[in-house]
Amino acid sequence: MGWVAAVAALTLVRLLGLWTARTDLYVDEAQYWTWSQSLAWGYFSKPPFLAWMIAAAEPLCGSTEACVRAPSTLSWAVTALAAFAAAATLGGRRAAWWAGVGVLLAPGAAYSARIASTDAPLLMFWALAVLAFVRLRAGGGRGWLALLAVSLGLGLLSKYAMVYLLPCLAIAALVDPDSRRTLRRPAVWLALAAGLLIFSPNLVWNALNGAVTFQHTADNARGEGLGLDVGSGLEFIAAQFLLAGPVAMAVVVLAAARAPTLSRDERLMLALSLPVLAALTLLAFLGRAHANWAATALIAVWVLSGLLFARWRLRVWPVAGLMVGLALQGLLLVGDAQADRFTLFGSEPYQRVRGGSALSEAVAERAQAEGLRTVIAETRTDAASLTYYLRQTPLKVRVWPAPPGQGPEHYYEMIRALDASDTGHAALLVTACPETSRVPGARPLPSATVATGPTGQRVRHLFVVPGDAEGRPAPCRGDAVIRDR
């Protein structure tokens, strides 16, 4: 009960931090909220579960920034409890305490628990799946089979990276006789199949929508091609130490170097983490891996570090590692509450999540003054922000349609592009480009400039676009980009 109380206390602090934060929704967060207003089995760039969570939270607390982010905070509480229970099964209460508090105070958790992100539900379901498998390995029955099925299915509906669990379990069977025996049980295979069945409606949705999510995921992974990039690889490795906690990750790296000396339980956790870390580190050295792509590996890293801390009877180093996460948690709580005036080493780290609400208010006032009912956003960033912050106004937010012969480049081109119903009605164009000649007949208005911090500003140029404007204008000449200075 003491551990549950600790999780509840920190979760409450984090929830209060959401309500005191002075940050606007980031572009992805605003897009997830938009998804939650039209529930489906899939969306342009991600599976649907985070949108479902946001939709479920809205009747309870509304659609404020804090409510959009609260599901992530609660997801991390479940993740910590699941890691605690898995470590308790494998190594007892001392190991469970180190693993659970390692999750709770990890720098990555402190950061992720305060934003709306698909990583939060993904890691929750990965942790629950690990717990279910550990309990099945220890002789557990039907309830754990059901948890494994539901966790796999909903994890895949959260983010496709959940699929990494299947090859990790196969590797676990190679290095751990107990895991091999567990995977020989037909009921376990049925549970895994049931998990894939839970996920299958997303496959149907993609089949009916041109496999748009799969295509976007593939494009994101492919990027501009592969090539040796040592700096990217080293940056990726450093990020894993920061996300997991430097001491926890260092201990796991040491354990990997001494794998033959590990117990069966420890080898299981190594199998559930090392393959993901190794594969994505290699990809990072080829220039194509973001730090959070290996996030699923961190669950087993925290459990394994707890087992090793307990077996090696370490105290000082684990506590020192936890202090890093605790310090970051405090810094984030203070920084979020003072985001409009917070600076760090002369920079403004909150620029990207400031200015959206003020800009939307300025756009609404200008549209009302001009008697306009449609706003055209030229980028996904502006479309997401304006859609969210103009949600309580009668204004319709639209984007230019995709060029002829090309598919949509983002979600808003897919479902909010200008169409025949908008023809004949003038609209307010919001753009970072100051050029007046791009849209024939456009009438320039005074620009909107809003503060993003003590000195930073966001500038958008406004134009009244005639109702007979012909499609997407020409690209902006020169280097005109979104101005956040």
Q: Kindly report, residue by residue over 199-222, the tens digit of the pLDDT.
A: 999 999 999 998 888 888 877 766
Distance CA 196, CA 157 (A): 10
Average pLDDT on 282-292 reads: 88
Distance CA 27, CA 466 (A): 28
Query: Are the beta carbons of 385 and 30 closer than 8 angstroms?
Result: yes
Q: What is the DSSP secondary structure assignment for residue 296, as one 8-state letter? A: T
Q: Report residue 289's pLDDT band, with 50, 70 and 90 as the boundaries.
A: confident
Least confident of 156-170, 249-263, 264-278, 462-476: 462-476
37 pLDDT above the threshold of 80: yes
Mean per-residue pLDDT over the chain, rounded: 92
- Residue scoring higher pLDDT (420 or 355): 355
- What are the sequence ranges of the domains in the chain? 2-337, 353-484
Distance CA 446, CA 450 (A): 13
484 pLDDT above the threshold of 70: no
371 pLDDT above the threshold of 70: yes
pTM for the structure as a whole: 0.95
Residues 216, 220, 221, 224: is their CA dihedral positive or negative? positive
Average pLDDT on 350-361 reads: 95
